[in-house]
Amino acid sequence: MSRITFPSHPLLLGFDQLEQLVERTARAGTDGYPPFNIEHCGPHAFRITLAVAGFREEQLSITIENRQLLVRGHQGEDGDDRVFLHRGIAARQFQRAFALAEGVEVSGAVLENGLLHIDLQRPEPKAVKQSIPITRG
């Protein structure tokens, strides 16, 4: 008996990109920095909140590439001659990736009190019924 893998199941037509999505998500990193929350804010709304203390707005970027939401942070050298007795506040670059389902759109982003909030909307899909004509061969 042969085993059929999920993306190659004969009844799942056109889902071959799902395997790539799962692999890309697994590679996205398990670093844990910066920590984040994902909230369900309504029937078609989500919010991603990242803890980005120490980053200014111009040091953060949010882009969408191939249905992947990428949040990047970069901090340059401060340029001052501070001497730290203890340095526990992270000051490093990061990249966080979130896979977006088709139709999910970013509706806005706000930086407040060291938290970056990214709001997402997924409009309710319209029911589509299509009749396919049958022609003689």
Q: Check which CATH number belongs to the domain holding 44 and give it.
A: 2.60.40.790
pTM of the model: 0.71
Residue 8 lies in a domain: no
User: Looking at residue 17, what is its pLDDT?
Assistant: 66
pLDDT exceeds cutoff 60 at 75: yes
Which domain does 89 fall in, by range? 31-121
User: Looking at residue 106, what is its pLDDT?
Assistant: 96
User: Looking at residue 24, what is its pLDDT?
Assistant: 64
Q: For the chain, how many structural domains are there in total?
A: 1
Average the pLDDT over 113-137 and give the result.
91
Strand spans (E) along 1-137: 36-42, 45-51, 60-65, 68-73, 94-99, 105-112, 115-121
Residue 90 lies in a domain: yes
Cβ atoms < 10 Å from Cβ of 73 = 22
User: Looking at residue 54, what is its pLDDT?
Assistant: 85
User: Looking at residue 20, what is its pLDDT?
Assistant: 67
User: Looking at residue 112, what is its pLDDT?
Assistant: 96
Average the pLDDT over 78-99 and give the result.
81
Copy the structure tokens of residue 56: 């200014």
Residue 14 lies in a domain: no
User: Looking at residue 137, what is its pLDDT?
Assistant: 80
Assign 72 to helix, strand or coil.
strand
Q: List the one residue out of 63, 58, 36 whose CA is nearest residue 49.
A: 36
More confident residue, 37 or 8: 37
Q: Looking at this protein, which amino acid is placed at residue 80?
A: D
From residue 43, alpha-carbon distances to 98, 111, 117, 122, 133 in Å are 20, 24, 18, 9, 36
Residue 20 lies in a domain: no
Residue 2 lies in a domain: no
Residue 100 lies in a domain: yes
Calpha distance 108→42 (Å, rounded)? 16
Average the pLDDT over 102-126 and give the result.
93
Q: List the one residue out of 96, 95, 75 whose CA is nearest residue 87.
A: 75
Residue 44 lies in a domain: yes
